[in-house]
A and B are shown apart, each in its own frame.
Chain A
């Protein structure tokens, strides 16, 4: 049986004016478990707290009920006060008789009655309270960044600069990501590689950063502060130590420098050989052999690259390697891709080489791209004179074909493309079919207006019904002009599609490994959309870049920095304090049915086969185990559990039931 002290606060007149405080004291004095009850003007004041401490010592109190303002206000205060007197802070319950009683009721008798009932509920609860201990878990001072695009690069640099070790895992042979494919960036039109390459080099040279390129995360276990991650380093077939990055190997293969494999980097607009570096500024500057397409790996014959390599770096015998590394925090920066356009037959993308995506246009306009920066039609290599841009291809769709969201960057990059084309080839006519032009952002609307006003880009609010390639090589775009209400048949010689962006398809697998939640569109979910936008609900997992949602480069970079700060904030701690109000499984009642794990937003519940002794019956059972470092104490599992095995400390089934009983008494 507890020895409970009840302390009723007047809060000046805030409570006392409507609640007869003395009467409350008299009426709760005889509740089961109560050994002491008193009132005071300001319970939270130093004198008030002193009173509590004295009573704890004098009466050997084991539990406290403070009838005062909201626990959201002073629960911490009173818990600290209890702790000072040597009482476990979780043996304190607060009855909210100010915000939820005296302030909203006028009739003193009624308010007093209610205050007594609220106090009784709190007393009944404290009778079932048990001392809870905050747990501690150590922190591995190393972070993992998954994805080596601009988001991952920036996050890694910021963490590394703060003095912590960080590893980047990138599945491609080089870091750089999508940004390295871009030509110029809006709204300043500076060259993407000019601003990105220095950062890539910095990453490569940073003493705190380890790069795992051509590598993938294979398995994740553990929890915040203590993740164990298996990284698969795919066989590069080129010895990192020996290769000097001279590039000789890529020139003399079966098809020389041209190769016959569509280059991923150039979006298939150009070919590459089987041994390749994706692009000239690749980091690391070490080629890989694409084994699926290599003649040697396919037929056992060839071996030319090995013969010509001056440093004998080519190693056909190399094997995939799995390294296991411990991390304290993980940042997901897996970025995006554009949607597959197979479902959009009306745009003739698969049919006509002159219907291209915006990202292909980036490559076509890039000096290092397949055409050396000359904008030309892929069909006849002639310069296009009439170009149509189609917006929202698969964005803002209400059917199953596309995505319901706005891809956010298309309006801006289309204006950028239009202006760049007009700058280089002023005699080109450009028409943009849009649904809405969205330009919120610093200098964004000015940028768009320049395209319309200075460059005379023809913006038509209208939806494109069909893109029809013509036998003469031209293309007719059928559209409705929504403002004029007219049907348009626009003849042109190139069509550029602003295809919707989507999270990198690999993110689903990674999210599952990390037990990080993702939304219906496969974007990672934030812990709180407004207040914790760079954290995943799963503790220790952070979000950076497009993996979380569509955003442009400056936003990505700022989010990357924010994620880095959160990581640093975590790594700076030697120990993590864990919330003691966590779920707990009664292994004797647990069925091992996994229902609780299905509703846990934090992946805090795992299953283990344990040996139990159920009143003398010994057997091995599959039971739930709660990782208290991950559990945030929401209690979703407790309501899902049919047998009542899963319970929440501090808000246990019996505690809440007894509160209900006390109120209904």
Chain B
């Protein structure tokens, strides 16, 4: 197994989670190093979003989560955010009744007023077309703009690790590139990114490493420069290892 050469930022081991009786994740081990982009791939229903939620504390979980040297196995999403682990959930869930500016401000809830103002401007600078609409209510934004707004929210706290859940869903190809480019800029600024993405090709182009998830377990871990990756992924997705052909 290829091991990341970098200093680990997020270490997940033996993580299990689910919804009520439905167990979705079974003993996940995963690492994200400082300043790297890791793509988390897998077919629908594999548990990618569940994994992010379990890491950020949105779902109850068992197992061990260590972030920046701190045990975060039982902490709340708020603690995670304060520690620099920010989760941008899927489905561009912004607050439609508030303005763009207010939405971004809320991401820094609890920060000192002066500092917050600066951070908000900094984050808005990532997406000028959002910044232009700062006084519009979020309900007037298109789906793509809402997604950009959600990512902007994720930037306010200068996270050490940003988890993006399907940031490209429902976006036109141009916008997808814009959003993913922002992720690349973040990496250059030293922020690690854990990216759940449906568009495998784009994800592979962007990421340093990749995990594939199927049926609640990690079925593949690789660096993106390894050969024949798409093929191996497809195998991992439809793997013969799980369901034997019917007699």
Bound pair (A, B): no
Q: Which residues of A contact B (CB under 8 A)?
A: none
